[in-house]
Amino acid sequence: MSRQIRSIRGMHDILPEQSGAWQWLEARVRDTLAAYGYQEIRLPILEQTELFARSIGEVTDIVEKEMYTFEDRNGDSLTLRPEGTAGCVRAGVEHGLLHNQQQRLWYAGPMFRHERPQKGRYRQFHQVGVEAFGLEGPDIDAELILVTARLWRRLGLDNLRLEINSLGSPEARASYRQLLVDYLSGHAEALDEEARQRLHTNPLRILDSKNPALREIIAGAPSLLDHLDQASREHFQQLQALLRAAGVEFTVNPRLVRGLDYYCRTVFEWITEDLGAQGTVCAGGRYDGLVAQLGGRPTPAAGFAMGVERLLSLLETRGGLPGLHPPHVYLVMAAEGALETGVQLAEALRDALPGLRLQMHCGGGGFKAQLRRADRSGADWALILGESELAAGGVGLKPLRQAGEQETLQRDALVARLARCLEISPSPHDAKESPVCP
Ligand code: ATP
Ligand code: MG
């Protein structure tokens, strides 16, 4: 036998027993975003490497060490997208969606980062990203946060807390940056290797360090919030007033900075204590400079991304995630000529009952063996075409999960019965009678 080939480390298959939970979550995300007028945009997974270098920033973890970059057969440098905002802005500029317009967009799909795999941190993971363009006020920042808060409610999650901060204007940030460098240089001996490197390339990122040894130094650092420009201060205050008015609880965390360079003004994170170290399930903020940085006209923008795997593990700690979707009915056929009748019956039932999950037995075999498969399929009912049913021109209906006798029904009665039992409305074209629900 040849050697078995395995999946790539940190990249996971989503198995049938898990995909029901994914679909359940995705449906709620879709509905929630539709409720606020957001439209889906679908973007390529591969982009030119330069797109990420220019948007995310050269001195970030992602661009320095996490990207999957390779040369394609033309010698072009391509990168598997590590996040979605850059591609979304690229597409918006390319198709003229942004200039002098307002856009509310969302996308979902796999992202790729070469990180150390651990629980809640993978090399292929999935994000839902939401971006709003052409709006500079705090109203849209508040709306984005309200979208997330509503989604948590719809998912039944009440163990997430919201932290917000403002990074101010690029100018205010630049002068704060100098203050921070002065302060941290005074503690250079206590910094770790990574922080020492960041000191002159991206000192704000030191505030985001996960090293507990730096906690005290970071706590003593000058606060960005004390150095905001006036307009950003007002923007931030209005955002807080809107959140209060909408009843969204939050805390202001003056140390909250985001890993990517492109943020300004509002940043926020939704954090849980129930997932250990990987507790941020959703993060975002405002990035007014990015569109121009990627060649578009200056366009204010704000957005967020949530980690789908982290949300699913959080939901799992709550229990009650849907699993497999077993068939409603399993069709057993054991008689001369039953297969022809069965194939035709199965198609007719699927026509008559949209939403019906009917699994037809394939592969032959005796009646007993087929019934065992019906049972194992998880179906609630077996439909049976045996000698006597064929002779009577009917179909047997046998409950598999509850007590009850097998009955033989004519086709119309079967449609009505299944519709009632499974709470499916028959399609108007095929139904001969409307079922009366008990
Ligand atoms: P972290 O600080 O956990 O590395 P990040 O700041 O790099 O997160 P973002 O780029 O803001 O993350 O991505 C938004 C969200 O995507 C995160 O809050 C998280 O839920 C999820 N996420 C990011 N990286 C990963 C990963 N490697 N595996 C799984 N989920 C991830
Ligand atoms: Mg990261």
- What string of DSSP letters covers 36-65? TT-EE----SEEEHHHHHHHH-TTSHIIII
Same domain, 308 and 334: no
pLDDT of residue 1: 82
Cβ–ligand 1 contact at 283 (below 6 Å): yes
Asked whether residue 1 is assigned to any structural domain, the reply reads no
Domain finish residue from 283, 317, 351: 317
**272 and 400 share a domain?**
no
Nearest CA to ligand 1 atom 25: 121
Asked which of 254, 286, 317 is the last residue of a domain, the reply is: 317
Q: Which ligand is nearest to the CA of 305?
A: 1
Residue 372's CATH number: 3.40.50.800
In a domain, 251, yes or no: yes
pLDDT at 33 over 70: yes
Q: Kindly state whether residues 67 and 150 are assigned to the same domain.
A: yes
Is residue 303 assigned to a domain?
yes
Ligand 1 mutation pick, 310, 311, 312, max ligand atoms within 8 A of CB: 310
Ligand whose nearest atom lies closest to the CA of 259: 1
SS3 content of the chain, % helix, strand, coil (to 5): 40, 20, 40
Q: Are residues 288 and 335 located together in one domain of the fold?
A: no
How many Å lie between the centroid of ligand 2 and the Cα of residue 260? 9
* Cβ within 8 Å of residue 328, ≥6 positions away: 356, 357, 358, 379, 380, 381, 418, 422
- Cα distance between residue 233 and residue 248, in whole Å: 20
Domain edge (last residue) among 317, 338, 366 = 317
My answer on whether 392 and 310 are in the same domain is no
Place of tokens 């957005």: 303
Nearest CA to 26 out of 127, 131, 125, 119 is that of 127
Res. 262: pLDDT tops 90: no
> Smallest Cα–Cα separation from 279: which of 313, 318, 320, 316?
313
Residues 299 and 366 occupy one common structural domain:
no
Q: What predicted TM-score, i.e. pTM, was given to this entire model?
A: 0.90
| DSSP conformation class of 247 | T
Residues 362-370, mean pLDDT to the nearest whole number = 95
- pLDDT, averaged across the chain: 92
CATH number at residue 107: 3.30.930.10
Cα(375) to centroid(ligand 2), Å: 46
72 shares its domain with 107:
yes
Å from CA of 18 to ligand 1 middle: 21
Q: Establish if 33 belongs to a structural domain.
A: yes
- pLDDT at 261 > cutoff 80: no
Q: Would you list which residues are annotated within the binding site for L-histidine?
A: 83-85, 113, 127, 131, 258, 262-263
- CA–CA dist 126, 429 (Å, integer): 40
Please state the atom number of ligand 1 nearest to the C-alpha of residue 127. 16
In 3D space, the residue among 163, 148, 169 whose CA is nearest the CA of residue 268 turns out to be 163
**Number of separate domains in the chain:** 2
In the chain, the percentage of residues whose pLDDT exceeds 70 is 97
Residue 319 has pLDDT above 90, yes or no: no
Q: How many angstroms does the Cα of residue 278 sit away from the middle of ligand 1?
A: 8
* Nearest Cα residue to atom 5 of ligand 1: 259
On whether residue 437 sits in a domain, the answer given is no
- Nearest protein Cα to ligand 1, atom 24: 121
Is 47 a pocket residue for ligand 1 (Cβ < 6 Å)? Answer: no
The verdict on residue 205 lying in a domain is: no
254 and 132 housed in the same domain: yes
Taking CA atoms only, the protein residue closest to ligand 1 atom 23 is 307
309 lines ligand 1 (CB under 6 A): yes
Statement to judge: residues 305 and 340 lie in one domain: no
Query: Is residue 356 a part of any domain in this protein?
Result: yes
> Which residue's CA is minimally distant from atom 7 of ligand 1?
259
H or E, element range at 104:
strand 103-112
Q: What distance in Å separates the CA atoms of residue 12 and residue 27, rounded to the nearest whole number? A: 21
Neighbours of 54 (CB within 10 A): 19
Q: Are residues 310 and 415 in the same domain?
A: no
The string of pLDDT tens digits covering residues 123-163 is: 999 999 999 999 999 999 999 999 999 999 999 999 999 99
The ligand 1 atom at the shortest distance from the C-alpha of residue 260 is: 10
Strand partners, 254: none
Q: What is the pLDDT of residue 427?
A: 62
3-state secondary structure of 412: helix
Which long-range contacts does 422-425 make (Cβ < 8 Å, 24+ apart)? 422/328, 422/353, 422/355, 422/356, 422/380, 424/353, 424/354, 424/355, 424/356, 425/354
Tell me: do 160 and 24 sit in the same domain.
yes
Q: Report the separation in Å between the CA atom of 167 and the middle of ligand 2, taken as the mean of its atom positions.
A: 19
In-domain check, residue 180: no
Whether 83 lines ligand 1, by a CB cut-off of 6 Å, is: yes
**What's the start-to-end Cα distance of the chain, in Å?**
58
Query: Count of CB atoms within 10 A of residue 2's CB?
Result: 4
Among the bound ligands, the one closest to the CA of 309: 1
Ligand 1 neighbour 90 (Cβ under 6 A): no
What is the whole-number distance in angstroms between the Cα of residue 201 and the centre of ligand 2? Answer: 18
Structure tokens at 16: 């049938």
Ligand 1 center to residue 312 CA distance, Å? Answer: 14
**pLDDT of res. 298:** 95
Distant-in-sequence contacts of 145-152, Cβ < 8 A, 24+ apart = 145/243, 145/248, 145/250, 145/268, 146/36, 146/246, 146/248, 147/32, 147/33, 147/36, 147/38, 148/270, 148/282, 148/304, 148/306, 149/246, 149/248, 150/32, 150/35, 151/28, 151/29, 151/32, 152/270
Looking at residue 434, its pLDDT comes to: 34
What value, to the nearest 5°, has the Cα angle with vertex 124 and ends 122 and 128? Answer: 100
Residue 299, Cβ density class (10 Å: 0-12 exposed, 13-18 middle, ≥19 buried): buried
Helix axes 308-318, 16-34, angle to 10 degrees: 110
Mean pLDDT of 268-273: 97
| 188-195 average pLDDT score | 88
Query: pLDDT grade, residue 209 (50/70/90)?
Result: confident
Q: Which of 125, 161, 256, 260 to mutate to test the pocket of ligand 1 (most atoms within 8 A of CB)?
A: 125
Q: Is 96 in the same domain as 126? A: yes
Q: Which domain holds residue 367?
A: 329-430
Instruction: Find out whether the beta carbon of 64 lies less than 6 Å from any atom of ligand 1.
Output: no
CA of 307 to the centre of ligand 1 (A): 6
Ligand 1 touching residue 122 (CB < 6 A): yes
